C-alpha cells in the first residue's frame, strides 16, 4: 500500500491512542500502540536508557551514514528529554530517542488542545507560517514582519514530523501553523536568521571565513550542473527556516530547471539571497573547465564578461542583484582574477573554510564522496562562529544531511544563515 494511504488509514487510531502521551508532564505512564515506522535522519543520533521511574540512566550515540527506518510501539514523556519513542530496531533498539526533526514518525501528528483557546505571544520579528496537505507535506507559507510584539489565540500545539507548531485561530495567521519555541513553550518563534541588505561593494575583500562575534555560520550553495535534488533541498531549508546564500551559474539559470529553482528562491526573500558563480563555470585562473572556456589563463575581459553575463540572467529571474558577492569556480582565484572581478562590480570573493565535497558521489573511484552522515558530522564538528560552508544544490547527499546538520549547529548556539547576515 502507498505510504500516504497507510498513514491515512492509521491516523485516527494513532491520534486516539497517542494523544495522552503527547506534550504532557513527566511521570506519565507510557502509552503503547501498533508498530510504527520512525525515520531516523542521517548523522548522529542519541538513544536514552530510562529506568522504571522515568529517569535517564545512560545514553548511547550512533552515527548513521544515511537515513534509517526504525520501528516503535511506545511513546512516553521523559523528563529532560521530552516526547520520545522507544525503538524496537536498529543499533538503538531498546532505547528511547527524542522526537524531533531528526527522529519522527512521518505524518503522525501529536496534539495538545486548548479549551478555551490559549494566548500565543508573538515577539517582534519576521515569521513564517505554514499550511500542510492531507499527508502533512508542506502546502503553502505566509510571511510577515511584526515591528512590535503581538498576540493571537491558538487552538492547539502540535508536533508535525518532529517540529513544534501552534494552530492559530485569530488575526492574520488564522488557519496557519506557526512554529513555536519548543514542544512545551507556547510562544511563536520568529526567524533567527536574515537576508538583506547586502554590504556595499567598497574595496576588494577575500573571505574564507567571515567576521565572528554573532554566533552565526554562513550556509552557501553553488548551483551549476547537476540539479536533481535542488528543489527538495530548497524546500527543506524553507520548512526548517534556514537562510542561505545561493551562487548560480548563468548557464544553469538559463535552463528551464534552473529558472524554476531561482523563481523559488525569489519567492522567499526572507530566507535566500543570490551571488554570482559566473556564466560557464570556467577556471578563471588557469584556464579550462569546459568547451566555452579558454584552455589557458582567461583575459581580464573574459572574466568580466563571465560575471556580467551571469549577472544579467540572475537579476532577470530573481529580481535581485547578485553583486558584490561572487564565488570563483573550483575556488581558482588570485589577485589578478579578483581585480578583474572587482572591475565588474564583484569586490567580495567568497571562498570557504568547510568544504563538504558533496558534489562527489559515494560511488566515485578511487576516492569515494561523503555519505550524508559524514557531511552532517563534518559541518557540525568543524563549524565555528563566522564559518562559510560550501555545499551544492546538486549535492548527492546534501538533502539527507541537512536535518542533522541544522539541528546540531543550533544545539551548540550557531545560527545557520546568509553571508549578508554575518557580514552585517
261-287 pLDDT, tens digit each? 999 999 999 999 999 999 999 999 999
Q: Do residues 396 and 290 both lie within one domain?
A: yes
Q: Do residues 293 and 210 both lie within one domain?
A: yes
- In angstroms, the CA 342 to CA 334 distance is 12
- In angstroms, the CA 45 to CA 63 distance is 6
Total domain count, the chain: 3
Q: Are 399 and 229 in contact (CB under 8 A)?
A: yes
pLDDT for 29: 40
Neighbours of 106 (CB within 10 A): 17
> Does residue 198 sit within a domain?
no
> Does residue 200 sit within a domain?
no
Q: Do residues 11 and 137 both lie within one domain?
A: no
> Does residue 197 sit within a domain?
no
pLDDT for 32: 57
- In angstroms, the CA 178 to CA 189 distance is 8
The reply to whether omega before 14 is within 30° of 0 (cis) is no
Q: Do residues 101 and 139 both lie within one domain?
A: no
Q: Do residues 167 and 211 both lie within one domain?
A: no
Q: Do residues 70 and 162 both lie within one domain?
A: no
Cell 548513521 belongs to 64
How far is residue 60 CA from its own chain's centroid?
A: 26
CB crowding 204-224: b at 16 or more within 10 Å, else e:
eeebebbeeeeebbbbbbbbb
106, 141, 162 — which closes off a domain?
A: 106
416 sits in which H/E element: strand 415-417
| Assigned C-alpha cell, 374 | 559524514
Vertex 231 angle, CA 227 and 237, to 5°: 125
106, 128, 150 — which closes off a domain?
A: 106
> If the chain, 424 residues long, is cut into consecutive pieces of 10 residues, what is the mean pLDDT of each piece?
42 38 39 81 97 94 97 91 94 96 86 92 97 90 96 94 95 95 93 94 97 97 96 98 98 98 98 98 97 97 98 98 98 98 98 98 97 98 98 98 98 98 94
Provide φ and ψ at 11, rounded to 5°. -55, -45
pTM comes to 0.91
Provide φ and ψ at 86, rounded to 5°. -95, 120
- In angstroms, the CA 83 to CA 78 distance is 6
> Does residue 249 sit within a domain?
yes
Domain, as residue range, for 224: 205-423
Which CATH number goes with the domain that contains 223? Answer: 3.20.20.370
> Does residue 193 sit within a domain?
no
Q: Where are the beta strands (DSSP E) in 133-236?
A: 138-146, 150-160, 163-168, 177-182, 185-188, 205-207, 216-223
pLDDT for 21: 38
pLDDT for 12: 36
Amino acid at each position: 500500500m502507498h505510504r500516504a494511504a497507510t498513514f491515512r488509514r492509521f491516523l485516527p487510531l494513532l491520534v486516539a491512542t497517542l494523544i495522552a502521551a503527547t506534550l504532557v508532564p513527566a511521570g506519565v505512564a507510557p502509552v503503547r500502540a501498533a508498530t510504527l515506522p520512525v525515520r531516523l535522519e542521517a548523522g548522529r543520533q542519541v538513544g536514552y536508557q530510562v529506568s522504571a521511574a522515568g529517569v535517564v540512566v545512560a545514553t548511547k550515540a550512533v552515527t548513521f551514514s544515511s537515513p534509517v527506518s526504525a520501528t516503535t510501539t511506545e511513546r512516553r514523556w521523559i523528563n529532560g528529554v521530552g516526547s520520545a519513542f522507544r525503538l524496537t530496531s536498529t543499533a538503538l533498539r531498546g532505547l528511547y530517542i527524542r522526537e524531533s526533526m531528526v527522529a519522527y514518525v512521518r505524518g503522525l501528528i501529536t496534539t495538545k488542545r486548548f479549551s478555551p483557546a490559549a494566548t500565543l505571544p508573538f515577539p517582534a520579528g519576521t515569521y513564517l507560517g505554514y499550511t500542510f496537505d492531507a499527508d502533512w507535506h508542506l502546502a503553502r507559507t505566509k510571511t510577515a514582519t511584526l515591528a512590535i510584539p503581538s498576540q493571537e489565540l491558538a487552538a492547539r500545539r502540535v508536533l508535525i514530523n518532529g517540529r513544534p507548531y501552534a494552530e492559530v485561530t485569530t488575526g492574520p495567521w488564522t488557519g496557519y501553523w506557526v512554529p513555536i519555541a519548543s514542544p512545551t513553550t507556547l510562544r511563536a518563534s520568529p526567524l533567527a536568521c536574515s537576508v538583506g541588505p547586502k554590504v556595499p561593494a567598497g574595496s576588494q575583500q577575500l573571505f574564507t571565513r567571515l567576521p565572528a562575534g554573532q554566533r552565526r555560520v554562513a550556509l552557501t550553495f553553488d548551483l551549476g550542473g547537476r540539479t536533481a535534488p535542488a528543489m527538495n533541498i530548497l524546500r527543506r531549508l524553507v520548512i526548517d527556516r534556514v537562510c542561505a546564500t545561493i551562487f548560480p551559474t548563468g548557464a544553469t539559470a538559463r535552463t528551464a530547471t534552473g529558472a524554476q529553482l531561482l523563481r523559488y528562491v525569489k519567492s522567499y526573500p526572507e530566507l535566500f539571497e543570490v551571488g554570482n558563480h559566473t556564466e560557464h563555470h570556467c577556471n578563471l585562473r588557469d584556464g579550462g573547465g569546459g568547451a566555452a572556456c579558454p584552455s589557458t589563463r582567461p583575459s581580464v575581459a573574459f572574466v568580466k564578461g563571465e560575471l556580467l553575463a551571469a549577472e544579467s540572467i540572475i537579476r532577470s529571474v530573481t529580481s535581485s542583484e547578485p553583486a558584490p558577492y561572487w564565488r570563483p569556480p573550483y575556488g581558482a582565484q588570485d589577485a589578478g582574477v579578483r581585480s578583474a572581478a572587482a572591475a565588474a562590480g564583484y569586490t567580495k570573493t567568497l571562498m570557504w573554510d568547510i568544504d563538504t565535497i558533496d558534489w562527489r558521489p559515494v560511488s566515485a573511484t578511487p576516492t569515494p564522496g561523503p555519505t550524508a552522515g559524514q557531511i552532517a558530522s563534518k559541518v557540525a564538528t568543524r563549524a565555528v562562529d563566522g564559518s562559510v560552508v560550501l555545499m551544492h544544490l546538486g549535492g548527492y547527499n546534501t538533502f539527507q544531511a541537512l536535518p542533522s546538520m541544522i539541528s546540531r549547529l543550533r544545539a551548540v548556539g550557531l545560527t545557520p544563515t546568509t553571508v549578508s547576515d554575518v557580514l552585517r
